[in-house]
Amino acid sequence: MLKFNLEQQLKAIIGEFAFSKGLKEEIVFSVEIPPKNINADLALNAAMVIAKKIKTNPRIIAQELSDIIISKLQSSVKSAEIAGAGFINLYFTDSFLQEELKKILEKKENYARQESLGKEKVMVEFVSANPTGPLHIGHGRGAAIGDSLARILKHLGYNAVKEYYLNDVGNQMNVLGESTKIRYRQLKGEDIPFLEDGYKGDYIKDIAQDLINEGKKQDEIDFREESHKRILETIKQDLEIFRVGFDNWFSESKIAFEKDGSGKTEVDKVCDYLKSKNYAYEKDDALWLASTNYGDDKDRVLRRSDGRYTYLASDVAYHKNKYERGFLKVINLWGADHHGYVARINAAIQMLGQNKEALKVILYQLVSLVRNGEPVAMSTRSGEFITLKDVLNEVGTDACRFFFLLRAPDSQLEFDLELAKKQTSENPVFYVQYVNARCHSIFKEYKDSGAVSDFSLLSSKEERDLIKKLISFEDVLLICDKTKSPHHLTTFLIETADIYHRFYEKCRVLGNEEQLTKTRIELLKAVSVIITKGLDLLGVSAPEKM
């Protein structure tokens, strides 16, 4: 990985070179960190790509290109070497590394902010769990991904807004209210059967018992509203403990029930629009979305034959509302079980006049829990899943968030509860946090003599490797943005900790000649800046003492 600006410069130089060789199309090449046995900073395969297209010797092309790169990037690249069939290995100048290190120390937590993104308005909608029960660990993974992604986007300069969509309309809410009502009556001593399709979790009994304890009489209670209100409050409390906050809580009832001056809801209006544009049609007394015209495997019902709108109709109206609020891009985080829903919502947003790039759906896989290598049962006989709160109570917020972000969203995640609690280097979150704590313990021991730092003294392989890793922070965040996955940052922090520990073993910080000690202290300050900011973007604390 390399500094983003340097990568752009390389692309421009190589593009010009390719054009001079008669190639008008864009050259796609890789810029990589070489294997550990090659002592170089970057490796390019551009010469081989160009040579193949113009049918010439790649090593000759590599030599020409190397000379041009060194000539044009004298402040960043000091030398180049041709390797193998035509790879170009590049070596950074010391001044390039030193200047980037100084930027970290000057900008501190603002390092890697991007002004060029222009505050583009982006919505990240995530969690959006039905307010019919507490959050389970699957919701927790979605919450960690969505919140961390929004934090990264904000740091990069986007106007990122976090939103929770409350599905508080439909039969599910009626079933919730009836479930609580029956539990209330049973707790009052009535011998009545429970609903076959009711919500059976103990939390329903708890709500009913609370209503009894508060002295509320049955005919005074709106069981649907009371259940919804109390469950939503529990969800908000759990998310607060999990360090997840939302800018907006958007209720489905707003678009399903609120009417304008013409007496129509937003759902009515979007269905009228789709029908007027022939994107929807009547059949068998129902209204259908013609989603097969946009890649869906079948058309979908918007309004049932009995006049009731489907969830899809509300969702289309909700997305129309998002774009009307000025969001240029919408990011939805959904559980992997929503895979079949992606095509129809993609079809709908194109019908609303948006291009495919205006919506990005991230599907995240399930979480499985293990303890001492053995699977943990995920649900009880009553059908209750292990809640997010259960895991938070056992391992804490830091470990929970870090572990949820260890893998890409589309990868299944195995969560080791015992590992998450260990206060050793085996635990990845402890391993990373300990770097910051160790830096601060050294800062406390350091007696400032007034010496002036000299970054040219940081010349060992371990020091250079650490600096190179720190300055790649910007690139990692840009990759997180491009892939819409924060796991690259989690990986980066673990790798940074690895490199820091190698540095710490080989390079004594205290007890050297004063100028070298001062300079290495400055390097550790940069380490602390990057570790602290990186953890913050993941929603994880960076303790100064452990």
The CA distance from 26 to 14, in Å, is 10
The CA distance from 529 to 470, in Å, is 9
Is the CB of residue 537 less than 8 Å from the CB of residue 151? yes
> Using CA of residue 225, residue 227, residue 229, residue 235, what is the dihedral sign?
negative
The CA distance from 487 to 110, in Å, is 21
pLDDT, tens digit (0-9, with 9 covering 90-100), for 101-114: 999 999 999 999 87
Does 44 score more than 50 pLDDT? yes
pLDDT, tens digit (0-9, with 9 covering 90-100), for 171-197: 999 999 999 999 999 999 999 999 999
Instruction: Give the residue among 165, 151, 128, 163 at the shortest CA–CA distance from 481.
Output: 151
- For 98, list phi and psi in degrees, rounded to 5: -65, -40
Q: What does 415-448 look like in DSSP terms, one character per residue?
A: EEHHHHH--STTSHHHHHHHHHHHHHHHHHH---
> What is the pLDDT, as a whole number, of residue 405?
98
Tokens of 463: 């020091």
Is the CB of residue 338 less than 8 Å from the CB of residue 331? no
The mean pLDDT of the chain is 93
CATH number, span 4-92 = 3.30.1360.70
- Residue 109 vs residues 138, 440, 530: alpha-carbon distances, Å: 31, 16, 8
Q: CB under 8 Å to 520, separation ≥6 — which residues?
A: 458, 463, 507, 509, 512
Give 538's Cβ-side CA count (13 Å radius).
35
426-537 and 126-247+365-421 share a CATH fold = no
pLDDT, tens digit (0-9, with 9 covering 90-100), for 348-392: 999 999 999 999 999 999 899 999 889 998 766 556 678 999 999
Strand, coil or helix: what is 30? Answer: coil
Does 2 score more than 80 pLDDT? no
Is the CB of residue 295 less than 8 Å from the CB of residue 343? yes
- Under the banding of pLDDT at 50, 70 and 90, the label for residue 4 is low
The residue ranges of every structural domain in the chain are: 4-92, 126-247+365-421, 426-537
Tokens of 411: 């990868």
CATH superfamily of 426-537: Isoleucyl-tRNA Synthetase; Domain 1 (1.10.730.10)
Does 3 score more than 60 pLDDT? no
> What is the pLDDT, as a whole number, of residue 6?
79
Q: How many other C-beta atoms can be found within 10 angstroms of the C-beta atom of residue 375?
A: 10
Does 117 score more than 80 pLDDT? no
Q: Which of 50-59, 118-127, 395-404 has the highest average model confidence (pLDDT)? A: 395-404
Q: 3-state SS string over 44-71?
A: ECHHHHHHHHHCCCHHHHHHHHHHHHHH
For the segment 451-474, the average pLDDT, to the nearest whole number, is 93
Does 32 score more than 50 pLDDT? yes
pLDDT, tens digit (0-9, with 9 covering 90-100), for 134-174: 999 999 999 999 999 999 999 999 999 999 999 999 899 99
Instruction: Give the residue among 411, 401, 369 at the shortest CA–CA distance from 145.
Output: 401
Does 118 score more than 80 pLDDT? no
CA 69 to centroid of chain Cα atoms:
35
> What is the pLDDT, as a whole number, of residue 384?
66
CATH number, span 126-247+365-421 = 3.40.50.620
pLDDT, tens digit (0-9, with 9 covering 90-100), for 53-83: 999 999 999 999 999 999 999 989 999 999 9
Tokens of 261: 């001056």
The CA distance from 319 to 322, in Å, is 5
> What is the pLDDT, as a whole number, of residue 1?
43
Report which DSSP code applies to 309.
Answer: B
Q: With left for phi above 0 and alpha for psi between -120 and 50, is residue 307 left, alpha or beta? A: left
Strand, coil or helix: what is 264? Answer: coil
Tokens of 286: 């129902």
Q: How many other C-beta atoms can be found within 10 angstroms of the C-beta atom of residue 546?
A: 12
